[in-house]
Amino acid sequence: MRSEFDFIALVRQQTLKRRAEGTTAGLIQGIGDDCAVTRSPGADRDSVITADLLVEDVDFRRTSTTPRLLGHRALAISLSDIAAMGARPRWALLSIGVPQDVWNGRFLDEFYKGFYALADEHKVILIGGDVSRTPDRIVIDSIVLGEAARGRAVFRSGARPGDHIFVTGTLGGAAEGLRLLEAGARLKRSGAQSLRPDANQQLMLRHLRPTPRVEWGQLLGEKRLATAMIDLSDGLSSDLTHLCRESGVGAHIEASRIPVDPLLDRVRVRPPDSLSLALNGGEDYELLFTVRPRERLARLPEEVGGVPATYIGDVTNRAGEVALTVGTRTRALQPAGFQHFERMRRKRFPERA
Amino acid sequence: MRSEFDFIALVRQQTLKRRAEGTTAGLIQGIGDDCAVTRSPGADRDSVITADLLVEDVDFRRTSTTPRLLGHRALAISLSDIAAMGARPRWALLSIGVPQDVWNGRFLDEFYKGFYALADEHKVILIGGDVSRTPDRIVIDSIVLGEAARGRAVFRSGARPGDHIFVTGTLGGAAEGLRLLEAGARLKRSGAQSLRPDANQQLMLRHLRPTPRVEWGQLLGEKRLATAMIDLSDGLSSDLTHLCRESGVGAHIEASRIPVDPLLDRVRVRPPDSLSLALNGGEDYELLFTVRPRERLARLPEEVGGVPATYIGDVTNRAGEVALTVGTRTRALQPAGFQHFERMRRKRFPERA
């Protein structure tokens, strides 16, 4: 059984073939990173672009979110990809297919409100897309274009042995939020919510309303602070493995340093379960990045807009090996994100079936 | 009941608001044309981008096409949008969602073969996208980026009274092909097909395997021959109305000049039915464009790559009025594309319901 990664490998191969034929002038990065990157003759800035497909009953359920939150989330996950390139988001396109009853109702108005609220926050303009009918389920393709100063985009492939590994924000909350939703928990009405949401409510919002680290990403790119970067969509164990594979390096991280979402403790999810969620949960949409020691590290801010970045370990020269130290024991960390959560997060195709 | 055009109007309004706020620097054309157009500081070329959503059982049926033809068509309709801007296609992204059984089979391999064959023909490189599971139906979002020399993109809004109206190729064949497919006709196996396809087979291929007018579009843009342009996706009556509305002009076309697909006569579809298909059928993916008389007209080639362009009438100063002369009678031509074919082409939402 093939995985989505086999497909990415196939497309990469075909791009390499065309590169050899000389038809890829202007292509800086094709498939295989958070965004593709292109360069136009004369331009001061490189262009980055990403597309993210959200399918009803795979990526979300109409009964466990609101149209407004869905509009936010569709844009947020693409903004996160732009941030992971160290780029600034500029333009969005939205292809959306809805069944007739959804078209007739208030869904789209609310969806666009959520979308525009986040777009305005980052001065992103909706410039195109498509709208279509579907037989029964909602489908959304969120496309965002951004720009980085020429040569400043940050790839997954730039990490070198000795670099320090950082992660923004906290991890594991979105996965627990999804678990709560799949178990039947629901958001309270917005009135009650806004006053003092309890931990369960906040965890569900971690999943339903992720905050892309747009300012962090842009700063890391513009100031050339990060050597490599990826956003945490599949989960730390998977995404760190991707980064290491692309960079041809290994990594060693320490469990005690991983910034586990403090909300987990409040709902009594504790080690080792909380650590497992932080390592394998996915969809936190935080940024994982590497920094060259010494002068670069000295310039790294402790936080940006109130969001901290935490040192969790180092890049090693043991290519492909990701090691995790828990207490006094060090073991290999397997990329377990979408496999472990296959029953919950059915977006991805399993590597084996 | 709102239409998709109400939505486009809403998004345009919101862009205008943001333009007034000064956050749209670099945006040349937002929603409302075949592509959005952006300009990056210093760049010699403007960027154009389009996205087209194809939903199973709305835009295609698995039983009446082949995966390879579908791969071709997904790219073709986006290339047609790029051509309609007078631009050159460069990069593609493909977001594709498929159910598990499709993932397990040969569908995607064949789909990509069709996609790559057309991409290679136009030196377009696949640089990104997304792949996801869906519960039961295939969904495809085809995104293509192109480039035009700075200021050379052709919009729907540039037609002026006195301009001549042209259309490439022939019209009405795709709609008849779709009618045949919906009535149960099927393509013969490729072996038999390639020898000497009969008229029915060719008509079905007009729908299933449209040929985007990439060379025509690029030439019209680069040589500044067209004042306005749109591709014929909804149908001549609708798309000419769009072009007139955007340009603030009217049009007068003559039925006898419209290049009705000669295959229609071979399957005994004759006037007035053949004319109706040519006017309202849609999905021919030919280019409709306007040319300033005199010097520009003199430079217009009769054909490009064997595909002719036919003069069908003139732009008038009667804003919003599209007139059609049939024999000695002249009447107002209503935009009837997706309404007339609502039962067959359920992609669009009706303007009234």
User: How far, in Å, CA of B107 to CA of B66, rounded?
Assistant: 9
Instruction: Give the pLDDT band of residue B337 (cuts 50, 70, 90).
Output: low
- HSE of A335, CA atoms in CB hemisphere, 13 A: 18
**Residue A39 in contact with partner chain B when CB distance is under 8 A:** no
**CA B38 to chain centroid:** 21
Interface contact B141-A58, CB threshold 8 A: no
B295 touches A: beta carbon within 8 Å: no
Q: How crowded is residue A340: how many other Cβ atoms within 10 Å of its Cβ?
A: 21
Q: What is the pLDDT of residues B136-167, one digit of tens each?
A: 999 999 999 999 999 999 999 999 999 999 99
Q: Is the peptide bond before A99 cis (omega within 30 degrees of 0)?
A: no
In chain A, what residues touch B59 (CB-CB under 8 Å)? 132
Question: Which chain A residue shows the shortest CA-CA distance from B58?
Answer: A134
Among the partner residues A41, A50, A91, nearest to B128 by beta-carbon distance:
A50
Torsion of CA A214, A217, A223, A228, to 10 degrees: -170
- Which of B27, B123, B143 lies at the smallest CB-CB distance from A23? B123
Cβ of B45 within 8 Å of Cβ of A40? The answer is yes
Which alpha helices (H) appear in A133-195, and where do they start and end? 173-182, 190-195
Q: In Å, how far is B257's CA from the nearest CA of chain A?
A: 32
A277 token code pair: 């969620």
CB within 8 Å: A139 and B143: no
The distance of B281 to chain A (nearest Cα, Å) reads: 18
Higher pLDDT, B352 or B51: B51
Q: Is B24 on the interface with A (CB under 8 A)?
A: yes
Percent of chain B with pLDDT over 90: 82
Q: What is the pLDDT of residue A34?
A: 95
CB contact under 8 A, A53 and B130: yes
At B23 the three-state DSSP class reads coil
Q: Tens of pLDDT along B235-246?
A: 999 999 999 999
Chain A residue with minimum CA distance to B127:
A30
| Residues A300-335: b if buried by 16+ CB within 10 A, e if exposed | beeebeeeebbbbbbbbeeeeebbbbeeeeeeebeb
Q: Do A30 and B127 touch (CB under 8 A)?
A: yes
Judge contact between B212 and B285, C-beta under 8 A: yes
Local structure of residue A101 (DSSP, 8 states): H
Q: Which residue of A has its CA nearest to B5?
A: A131
The residue to which tokens 């002068």 are assigned:
A295
Give dist(CA A82, CA B280) in Å, integer.
41
> What value, to the nearest 5°, has the Cα angle with vertex B277 and ends B271 and B280?
130
Which of A31, A35, A103 lies nearest to residue B349, judging by beta carbons? A103
Q: Which of B190, B183, B198 is nearest to B67 (CA)?
A: B190
Mean pLDDT of B320-337: 93
**Residue pLDDT, tens place only, B294-317:** 877 889 999 999 999 999 999 999
Residue B224 distance to chain A (closest CA, Å)? 21
Residues whose CB falls within 8 Å of the CB of residue B83, separated by 6 or more in sequence, listed in order: B89, B212, B213, B214, B216, B217, B218, B231, B287
| Chain A residues in contact with B103 (beta carbon < 8 A) | 349
Residue B348 has pLDDT above 60, yes or no: no
Give B191's pLDDT tier (boundaries 50, 70, 90): low
ipTM of this model? 0.93
Contact B7 A145 (CB under 8 A): no
Closest CA relative to residue A53, chosen from A152, A145, A139, A176:
A139
Report the DSSP pairing between strands A250-254 and A322-326: parallel
Dump pLDDT digits (tens) for B43-95.
999 999 999 999 999 999 999 999 999 999 999 999 999 999 999 999 999 99
Mutation site for A-interface testing, chosen from B10, B62, B78, B133 by largest number of A Cβ within 10 Å: B133
> What are the two backbone dihedrals, phi and then psi, of residue B41, each rounded to the nearest 5 degrees?
-55, 135
Mention every residue, 6+ apart, whose C-beta is less than 8 A from residue B38: A90, A91, A127, A145, B26, B27, B28, B46, B47, B49
Closest alpha carbon to A174 in A204, A130, A144, A216: A204
Residue B328 CB contacts under 8 Å (≥ 6 apart), including other chains: none
Both tokens of B162, joined, read 């006195």
Query: Could you tell me what percent of chain B has a pLDDT over 70?
Result: 92
Tokens 């472990």 map to which residue? A340
Euclidean distance between the first and the last CA atom of chain B, given in angstroms as a whole number: 6
**What does the angle CA B69 – CA B70 – CA B74 come to, to the nearest 5 degrees?**
120
Answer yes or no: pTM beyond 0.90: yes
Is the model's pLDDT at B339 over the cut of 50? Answer: no
Taking contacts as CB-CB distances below 8 angstroms, the residues of chain B near A42 are 42-45
Q: Are A126 and A119 in contact (CB under 8 A)?
A: yes
Asked if the Cβ–Cβ distance from A53 to B141 is below 8 Å, we say yes
Using a CB-CB distance cutoff of 8 angstroms, which residues of chain B are in contact with residue A52? Answer: 95, 130
Residues 6+ apart with CB under 8 A from B63: none
List per-residue pLDDT tens for chain A, 353 residues long.
466 677 778 788 888 888 888 778 999 999 999 999 999 999 999 999 999 999 999 999 999 999 999 999 999 999 999 999 999 999 999 999 999 999 999 999 999 999 999 999 999 999 999 999 999 999 999 999 999 999 999 999 999 999 999 999 999 999 999 999 999 999 987 655 555 679 999 999 999 999 999 999 999 999 999 999 999 999 999 999 999 999 999 999 999 999 999 999 999 999 999 999 999 999 999 999 999 998 778 899 999 999 999 999 999 999 999 999 999 999 999 998 544 334 334 444 444 33
Lowest mean pLDDT among A123-132, A309-318, B183-192, B256-265: B183-192
In whole angstroms, what is the distance from residue B285 CA to residue B142 CA? 15
Helices vs strands, H then E, count in chain A: 13, 14
Q: Do A132 and B59 touch (CB under 8 A)?
A: yes
Interchain contact A38–B (C-beta under 8 A) = yes
In whole angstroms, give the CA distance from residue B72 to residue B207: 11
The conformational region for residue B297 under phi > 0 = left, psi -120 to 50 = alpha, else beta, is alpha
Chain A residue numbers touching B14 (CB-CB < 8 A): 116, 126
The predicted structure's pLDDT at residue A343: 36
Q: Compute the distance between CA of residue A26 and CA of residue B44 in angstroms, rounded to an integer.
A: 13
The three state secondary structure string of B53-101 is EEEECCCECCCCCCHHHHHHHHHHHHHHHHHCCCCEEEEEEEEEEECHH
Q: Which two tokens stand for residue A15?
A: 């791009």
Q: Which of A5, A53, A78 to mutate to test the interface with B (most CBs of B within 10 A)?
A: A53
Q: Which two tokens stand for residue A196?
A: 């003092």
A5 touches chain B (CB under 8 A): no
**A 131-160 near B (Cβ less than 8 A):** 131-135, 137, 139, 141, 143, 145, 147
CA B105 – CA B114 distance, rounded (Å): 16
Q: Return all residues near A237 (Cβ < 8 A) that are at least 6 apart.
A: A279, A280, A322, A333, A334, A335, A336, A337
Q: Which of the pair, B14 or A129, is modelled with greater confidence?
A: A129
A16 contact B CB<8A: no
Contacts of B121 (CB under 8 A, 6+ apart): none
The Cα A36–Cα A51 span in angstroms is 10
User: Cβ–Cβ of B42/A42 closer than 8 Å?
Assistant: yes
Name the strand (E) or helix (H) holding A4: helix A4-20
pLDDT recorded at residue A194: 55
Q: In this structure, what are the phi and psi dihedrals at residue A128, rounded to the nearest 5 degrees? A: 180, -165
